[in-house]
Amino acid sequence: MNVKRSHEGRSVWERVTSVSPEEQAAQDRARRRTGVLMGVLLGLAYGGVSQFINPIALPGIQLHQPPAGAAGNMLLSSLMGGVFGVLTCFPTSAAMGILLGGIAALAGIFSYMIVRLGGLGLDSALIGSVILSAPMAWLTLPVIALLRWATERQVSGQRNGEPLLVRARAPVALFLIMAFLASFELLPAEARDTLRRTDALIRQGLQATSATQLPAPLAGPNMTAFPAGRMAAYTLEWTQYDLDRFMKLRPPSNFDQHTAVIARFKHGTLLVCLYPTPRQDPNCANYDQMPAKAPERGDDA
């Protein structure tokens, strides 16, 4: 026979921790709302720093920032943060929320890497995304756990009447952590220097009034056209991956030092300048479309 225990017969722990269904529902709603806001805040911190740190470090240079440009990527990062926030904070169980947030982070990182590596071809993009996504997703778990903790801390603090400045400590700390993590998106010094050199090279070429005035790298044997003598908008991207796409530009030495800068002109032309070493002049070629893989032996295209 089941006998309902009286209030006096319950333990101190049960009396302190138990809440009515109505109170639990209100706490759940508050936690979920706060989780969304916290997630958006963290996404904004990461997106803002990661997308603008390189443009700030390279003033005057328009960088290629897929898939939506700096401002668009920052907005996408904020939206993804909101999704992570609601998934992490929706379940009553903190462990289940962290698990859902981790799964969402893995899916989001995988999708992002597919977009970032899409120019390498589908096979290479899939392999690279699988290799990079898993460890990056693991690294997000502590941040997701902190997000859940900070959200519950906000809800309980508001319920207990804590001052706003006291409750703001956790969100500010998480914002700074995300901004710090995003700062690792800053390109290395050699990459920034290579981008500056390529930008100066292109500007010099655009100012030329004839082919004879083009700088030597833009008049090489692999250059068939260059928009000299006119203002042409373009973006630049530095890369050190899958350079075999540009095999005809790669000298047979210093393979570990090779990097490339890809210029995408608004009218559709691609210019690739491959640097054998950071200090050497580049070997440049223009393409109508990005090669998806290394050309076959004897293929000059």
Higher pLDDT: 120 or 145? It is 145
User: CB pairs under 8 A, 24+ apart, for 157-163?
Assistant: 158/30, 159/27, 159/30
Q: Which two tokens stand for residue 24?
A: 């639990």
CB 39 within 8 A of CB 175: no
Using one digit for the tens of pLDDT, what is the confidence trace for 16-34? 456 678 888 888 899 999 9
Provide the residue ranges of all domains of the chain, joining segments of one domain with +. Answer: 22-185, 189-287
What is the band of 128 on the pLDDT scale with cuts at 50, 70, 90?
low
CB 92 within 8 A of CB 152: no
Work out the average pLDDT over 279-292: 89
> What's the pLDDT score for residue 213?
87
**Does pLDDT of 65 surpass 80?**
yes
Using one digit for the tens of pLDDT, what is the confidence trace for 186-206? 999 999 999 999 999 999 999
Considering the chain, what percentage of its residues have pLDDT values greater than 70?
81
**Does pLDDT of 7 surpass 60?**
no
For residue 94, give Cα distances in angstroms to 87, 125, 151, 178, 257: 11, 34, 11, 21, 47
Work out the average pLDDT over 140-146: 87
Please count the residues of the chain: 301
Q: What average pLDDT does the chain have?
A: 84
List Cβ neighbours of 32 (8 Å cut-off, separation of 6 or more). Answer: 86, 89, 90
Q: Which region among 4-8, 22-26, 153-157 has the lowest average model confidence (pLDDT)?
A: 4-8
**Does pLDDT of 227 surpass 50?**
yes
Helix (H) or strand (E) holding 50: helix 21-57
pTM equals 0.77
Place of tokens 């809440």: 19
**Is the omega angle on the peptide bond into residue 67 within 30 degrees of 0, that is, cis?**
yes
**Does pLDDT of 126 surpass 60?**
yes
What is the band of 53 on the pLDDT scale with cuts at 50, 70, 90?
very high
**Does pLDDT of 44 surpass 80?**
yes
**Does pLDDT of 1 surpass 50?**
no
> What's the pLDDT score for residue 164?
86
Work out the average pLDDT over 293-301: 47
Work out the average pLDDT over 111-124: 65
- CA 182 – CA 185 distance, rounded (Å): 6
Using one digit for the tens of pLDDT, what is the confidence trace for 73-105? 999 999 989 998 999 999 989 999 998 888 888
Using one digit for the tens of pLDDT, what is the confidence trace for 256-271? 999 999 999 987 889 9
- CA 258 – CA 176 distance, rounded (Å): 35
